[in-house]
């Protein structure tokens, strides 16, 4: 898995994931993946059943995370992943909200 390189440009993306992604450990899966890729940000459940993921880091790390979001943990059933550019916000780590 990719790690953030010192001095690498930091970018941010917001992902909205739909399907069976709540109550199946999806946010914990995302947290582990993002930490392994050296990304910062958060994952949180939305009231409409989707999960929102905000991640900041290298282009390579964000691209790899984008692919992993389609997989999810064993019991997830991902039906769609929307992705958009986002302003870079400084977080110390990747956490679950």
45 is catalytic: yes
Strand-strand pairing, 94-96 and 40-45: parallel
> Is-contact 14 53, C-beta < 8 A?
yes
Q: Could you say which of 13, 45, 50, 79 is catalytic?
A: 45
| SS3 annotation, 31-97 | HHHHHHCCCEEEEEECCCCCEEEEEEECHHHHHHHHHHHHHCCCCCEEEEEEEEECCCCCCCCEEEC
Is 14 a catalytic site residue? no
Among the listed residues 27, 50, 74, 97, the single catalytic one is 27
CA distance 22 to 25: 7
Q: Annotated active-site positions, please?
A: 27, 45
């Amino acid at each position: 898995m990719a790690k953030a390189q010192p001095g690498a440009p930091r970018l941010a993306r917001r992902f909205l994931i739909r399907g069976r992604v709540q109550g199946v450990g999806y946010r914990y899966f995302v947290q582990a993946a993002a930490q392994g890729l050296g990304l910062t940000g958060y994952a949180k459940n939305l009231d409409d059943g989707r999960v929102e993921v905000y991640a900041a880091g290298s282009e390579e790390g964000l691209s790899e995370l984008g692919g992993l979001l389609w997989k999810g943990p064993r019991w997830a059933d991902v039906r769609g992943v929307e992705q958009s550019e986002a302003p870079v916000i400084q977080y110390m780590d990747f956490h679950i909200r």
